[in-house]
């Protein structure tokens, strides 16, 4: 082999190693914590993962189940860098209010995605027309660490009740709650999720249900504790068989990240959401009308620096 050939081969190998190093430097693997399987966050997280990995070679996203309260704690503790959360929970976390034991640190907002609806579903034959009617009934709800479970305790407290006043309380997955309602082992199912909710649709397919309304007094009880709550109406056409509209407590689903996390990944994730609303709304129809103004709205949680730059570049904020 001539000296020239050796030089050319050596140069080629060096370039290859440099190129491989550049690809490795751009590669990023991270965990996106979502929600319970059977809820709205888990499939939406999977859709965002698919878009990100398709459009950004070298990026690998692991989607894991999580919960609204637990996700904020997880980001604050550095267990994962990005997660779904509820606006009310993140505001409470930064202030160090219950259910959080201490103020969260290093948690920033990436963008609001859609409203979450706290839904109080009762079997029609359970004769539950108000929250006071929970007394002596059987309730199925989520595990501790889920925003829906935390709100359920607040709901009872608002009318002077607690879990002790109920005949039975189950803390289980959405799918188990659905089965309990279908089998007649639960009278009431509470959950915080998108509208309509697949789990509630499943119950309504085999049981007559009603949505228990929230009174103005109960809503004000929640609003006084967290200004991020909004009252909205669940219309009778939301689920099969509903006989009337019902007022509900709502809040926002948003993405959060560690404030010092990789700005390039944050930008890629926001791009994946903002530029693919058609496909994402097929997973969650609540996102069909999402705008950049909605995403960037001030919710009382500081924007990640890369998110602030993203919205500014897109002409908002």
Using the predicted structure, report yes or no on whether residue 98 has a pLDDT greater than 80: yes
CATH topology of domain 29-115+252-313: D-Maltodextrin-Binding Protein; domain 2 (3.40.190)
Using the predicted structure, report yes or no on whether residue 300 has a pLDDT greater than 90: no
pLDDT value of residue 19: 40
pLDDT value of residue 230: 87
- What's the pLDDT band for 20 if we cut at 50, 70, 90? very low
Give 222-275 pLDDT, tens digit per residue.
988 887 888 999 999 999 999 999 999 999 999 999 999 999 999 999 999 999
Share the mean pLDDT of the chain: 90
Max Cα separation, the chain? 92
Using the predicted structure, report yes or no on whether residue 174 has a pLDDT greater than 90: yes
Residues of the chain with CATH 3.40.190.10: 29-115+252-313, 117-251
- What's the pLDDT band for 21 if we cut at 50, 70, 90? very low
pLDDT value of residue 15: 41
If you average pLDDT over residues 95-111, what whole number do you get? 94
Give 112-143 pLDDT, tens digit per residue.
999 889 999 999 999 999 999 999 999 999 99
pLDDT value of residue 225: 86
If you average pLDDT over residues 147-164, what whole number do you get? 96
- What's the pLDDT band for 101 if we cut at 50, 70, 90? very high
Query: How many other C-beta atoms lie within 10 A of the C-beta of residue 272?
Result: 23
Cβ pair 84, 35 in contact under 8 A: yes
- What's the pLDDT band for 57 if we cut at 50, 70, 90? very high
Query: How many other C-beta atoms lie within 10 A of the C-beta of residue 300?
Result: 14
Domain 117-251 CATH superfamily: Periplasmic binding protein-like II (3.40.190.10)
What residue has token string 């319970």? 36
- What's the pLDDT band for 26 if we cut at 50, 70, 90? low
Kindly state the percentage of the chain with pLDDT values over 70.
91
Q: How far apart are CA 84 and CA 64, in angstroms?
A: 11
Pick from 119, 117, 115, 118: nearest CA to 289 = 115
- What's the pLDDT band for 1 if we cut at 50, 70, 90? low
Using the predicted structure, report yes or no on whether residue 53 has a pLDDT greater than 60: yes
pLDDT value of residue 63: 98
Coil, strand or helix: which one is 176? helix
pTM: 0.75
If you average pLDDT over residues 56-81, what whole number do you get? 96
pLDDT value of residue 148: 92
Cβ pair 304, 261 in contact under 8 A: yes
């Amino acid at each position: 082999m001539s000296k020239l050939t050796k030089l050319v081969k050596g140069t080629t190998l060096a370039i290859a190693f440099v190129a491989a190093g550049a690809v490795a430097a751009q590669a990023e693997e991270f965990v996106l914590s979502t929600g319970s399987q059977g809820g709205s966050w888990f499939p939406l997280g999977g859709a965002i993962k698919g878009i990100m990995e398709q459009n950004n070679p070298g990026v690998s996203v692991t989607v894991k189940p999580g919960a609204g309260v637990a996700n904020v704690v997880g980001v604050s503790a550095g267990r994962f860098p990005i997660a779904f959360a509820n606006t009310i929970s993140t505001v409470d976390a930064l202030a160090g209010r219950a259910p959080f034991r201490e103020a969260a640190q290093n948690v920033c907002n990436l963008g609001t995605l859609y409203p979450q609806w706290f839904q109080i579903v009762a079997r029609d034959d359970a004769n539950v027309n108000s929250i006071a009617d929970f007394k002596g009934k059987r309730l199925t709800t989520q595990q501790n660490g889920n925003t829906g479970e935390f709100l359920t305790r607040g709901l009872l407290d608002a009318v002077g009740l607690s879990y002790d006043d109920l005949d039975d309380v189950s803390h289980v997955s959405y799918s188990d709650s659905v089965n309990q309602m279908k089998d007649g082992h639960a009278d009431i199912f509470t959950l915080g999720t998108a509208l309509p909710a697949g789990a509630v649709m499943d119950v309504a397919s085999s049981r007559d249900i009603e949505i228990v309304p929230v009174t103005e007094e109960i809503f004000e009880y929640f609003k006084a504790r967290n200004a991020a709550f909004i009252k909205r109406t669940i219309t009778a056409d939301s689920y099969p068989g509903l006989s009337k509209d019902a007022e509900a407590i709502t809040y926002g689903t948003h993405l959060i990240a560690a404030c010092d996390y990789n700005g390039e990944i944050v930008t890629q994730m926001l791009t994946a959401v903002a530029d693919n609303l058609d496909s994402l709304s097929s997973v969650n129809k609540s996102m069909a009308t999402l705008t950049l103004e909605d995403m960037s709205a001030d919710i009382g949680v500081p924007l990640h620096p890369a998110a602030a730059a993203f919205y500014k570049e897109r002409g908002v904020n």
